[in-house]
Structure 1
Amino acid sequence: MSRFFESTRPLFEWMNTSSGRQTVLTATGGVGAVASLLYWIPHAPAINSTKNISQMYLGGLPLQPPRHMTDLIAETLGDCGITEIDSRRIRWFTAFGFDPIHFGQVSFKKGSIVGVPKTFYYKDIDEIDKTDIKINRNKSVPWRTEAGTALMEALVLSDEAKKFAVAVQVHHVCWNEVLTKLLIVGIPIPAAATLAAFIMERFNLLNAPPIYRRSVVAVAGFLFFGIAMAVWDAYTRYLESSADREVCLMGEDYARGGVEYYGKCLLRNRALRELLQKSGERTYTVEGNIKRWFHRPEVPLTKRKANCEESLKEVKLKEPAAAVPETTEEPTPAGSVRQSFLFSRPAAPNEVFSGVHATQTGRIKPPPPQGGKVPVSSDAVPSVSEPAK
């Protein structure tokens, strides 16, 4: 070790010069920019590749959802009050795993993508494809056990729970989540270097023994690393709590769906804890939360369920006193209305939104009331579209 430090002496001597310090500060700024770029790439320029990697395939083609799921997503977008321009910039696909995922933002050039798990397509236990679910390195689940039965029950969600989960993802992609996290990732490295340089110059440590300078750099690095992790975790938890609350306040059915959704997530994790044995005990707590040792980048599921229960009580108190206005719907223009799920291609210019869409003759209607579906005006939907560049 002493030989190593002796060999690096010329480097540290050069770093003590004014040109060396300036070069180091510039280099750390570049490293911070690269770190931000690595986080940004899968959310923006490579978002199509991210979708291709994250989605499920059947026979070499992207897995297509059933009709009832496309109707549910269209209705949820209408309830969220998403504008036609923003809804056009949300693409949907079937994702691996049990939980929905999202990448990108609607404000980006290539928009955003939301992955819906295959389990959202099930209406009852009989529809579960048990051959697709494996545990402990490709072993079949013992479905006849108590834990297996609990897992089956947890995988089947009501439409209210599905709409809640979809609405939460829509809220995430409509916020500036990615841009804010870019700053959280990129700032700590140059900030730590700047702080270390300031301390060494302020306390005249440039001519002190190398051990002092190395200690200052190490302390500054660990300090800003810890601050960055704390800010990342706090911001992520804030977004999750805010999304849950905003969706729950959309109506009693959404709040009820949130309570069910997180309750089913906890039940699923408890079942997996028992089915996975030692691996499950290391991954999940007895309550069904994900175990975290050093940091917690998400709100515990028990807390999210409790928050939804509180919001449900709040909504129940407000709704009886709220006046329900009478609404009249315009007659449907002549022509057929159809909905489909564009999982395998990005949005075409004449579609109001990619993922779920409806085509009909006539003019574009204003945003629908709660419970309505997002209208789309298009004479034809192309069958083939070039991928977004």
Structure 2
Amino acid sequence: MAVRFLQKASVWVKKHKITLLAFSCMGLFGANLSYHVFPETFRMLHECWSEGQPAELSQRLCSVFQDVLQDNDVKSPDSYKAFAASGFHPVSAGIPWLPAGAVVGIPPNFDSTAEDKKGIVNHVVVINGKEVDWESSEGVALREALTFSLEAQKFAIAREIVYLQGGSPLANAAVAPACLAATFLCGRGIKLLLGLSPGPIILRSICNLVTAAAGLMCYYVSYDAVTYHLDCKADRKAATVSKDYARGGVEFYDKILSRNRILRGLMGKQGTKIYAPSGNLFPRHWFRIKYTPYTYRRDLIVNILQELQA
């Protein structure tokens, strides 16, 4: 019974493989884009909570957010909504020209200034099961690394806005279906070229496995390359708004690197697995570069600042 079912399923798949490929590609694209199409779901996952309720963004940060929208000449500012996010730096999701618009999460430490640290010390941070003592030497260093100037805050928010504004979510979501389609077409082409289509099933299976492995490798390399390009593009566009934004960008990445080095020490063995001595993320991951190095992003903005000052 099972053998008959498998035989019928195999015949059906061969007959409708182009249709299956099209639906698979659309499914992958939709899955990768899902939280951008429904940004409120993303918001609920990343929202900061206080006393059992979603935290409200301060009036000051709402004003900063509107200033950033104006500085970046956003044509439809109503398409962007800000919310109080958990974590240490801004996050975002959405496609501005869709009805749901886009959301940008701003962390509570952005409410802190050099004079007033309330946005940091009012929140409990637990590392390795221990609450960070903000008065200890490590706590003071971490607090300084989490306190950004107005220019750095504006840059960090601006890069999230220009990332969404430039259609980057669509480009990222398209990598997987494009690689799947390319792998399928290459596999068919190779089998036709080598005359394996009418050949033994073992040889066809080996060819399929090799093609699938090559396709997976191509996906990893392509996804990392696209991520790297889009991150640098967003940084470059945000930094070229003005000299103040460029200076803010240098400070933002300097403090992220400083924060990561501090966390690396506080987290012990786990920290060495997450952060490199330079402060970059995931120092060892075989051939992949899953995250654009913060050191490179800082150097990119340093060069932009030098050009603007020249």
TM-score by structure 1 length?
A: 0.73
Q: 1:151 to 1:234 in 2, by over 3 A?
A: same
1:107 partner SS: coil
The structure-2 alpha-carbon separation of the partners of 1:132 and 1:65, relative to structure 1 and needing over 3 Å to count, comes to same
Shift of residue 255 of structure 1?
Answer: 0.9
Does 2:219 align with 1:228?
yes
CA RMSD of aligned residues (A): 2.3
Give the letter aligned to residue 87 of structure 2.
G
**175 and 92 in structure 1: CA distance in 2 versus 1, 3 angstrom threshold:** same
Tell me the residue number matched to 2:159: 168
Alignment equivalent of 1:196, drawn from 174, 187, 208: 187
Tell me the equivalent position of 2:199. 208
Deviation at 1:199, TM superposition (A): 2.2
Secondary structure of 1:296's partner? coil
Name the CA shift for 1:287/1:24 in 2 (closer, same or farther; >3 Å).
same
In structure 2, what is the Cα distance between the partners aligned to 1:159 and 1:238?
27
* 1:226-265 superposed matches below 5 A: 226-265=217-256
Letter in 2 for 1:289: N
- The equivalent position to 1:66 in structure 2, one of 54, 58, 79, is 58
Which residue identity is paired with 1:82?
V
Post-superposition offset of 1:130: 5.4
Equivalent position to 2:78, from 46, 68, 88: 88
Assess if the C-alpha contact under 8 Å between 1:25 and 1:194 holds in 2.
Answer: no
Which residue of the partner structure matches residue 157 of structure 1? 148
Q: Pick one of 278, 290, 307 that aligns with 1:314.
A: 307
3-state DSSP class of the match of 1:102?
strand
Q: Which amino acid aligns with 2:308?
A: V
* 1:47 and 2:39 matched: yes
Give the match's secondary structure for 1:260: helix
Tell me how far 1:285 sits from its aligned partner.
0.5
For structure 2, list consecutive stretches of 5 or more residues without a partner in the other structure. Answer: none
Deviation string 1:325-384 (CA, Å, 9 cap, x unpaired) is xxxxxxxxxxxxxxxxxxxxxxxxxxxxxxxxxxxxxxxxxxxxxxxxxxxxxxxxxxxx
Map of 2:112 onto structure 1: 122
Answer 1 or 2: higher relative contact order, Cα 8 Å, separation at least 6.
Answer: 1
**Alignment partners' CA distance in 1, 2:35 and 2:90:** 17
Give a deviation string over 1:7-63, Cα, whole Å, max 9, x none. Answer: 979957985x6x65233343233222222221122111x322221221112234321
Q: CA deviation at 1:242?
A: 1.6
Q: Secondary structure at the match of 2:16?
A: helix
Residue equivalent to 2:14:
21
Counterpart amino acid of residue 167 in structure 1 = A
Which whole-Å CA distance do the structure 2 matches of 1:207 and 1:289 have between them?
A: 51
Return the index of the structure with the highest Cα Rg: 1
How many residues end up aligned between the 2 structures? 305
2:49 counterpart letter in structure 1: Y
Distance 1:20 1:81 in 2: 50
Q: Kindly provide the amino acid, as one letter, of the partner of residue 120 in structure 1.
A: F
Q: Give percent identity, aligned residues only.
A: 27
1:261 CA displacement? 0.5
**Is 1:136 paired with 2:162?**
no
Structure 1 residues 241, 43: CA separation in 2 closer, same or farther (over 3 Å shift)? Answer: same
Counterpart of 1:367? none
Distance 1:33 1:163, change over 3 A: same
Partners of 1:192 and 1:283 lie apart in 2 by: 32
1:232-284, Cα deviation, whole Å (9 max, x unpaired) = 22122112112222222221111111111000000000000000001101000
Report the TM-score, using the length of structure 2 for normalisation.
0.90
Preserved contact between residue 124 and residue 132 of structure 2 (Cα < 8 Å): no
1:97 to 69, 87, 98: 87
Pairing 1:296–2:289 present:
yes
Correspondence for 1:272 among 245, 258, 263: 263
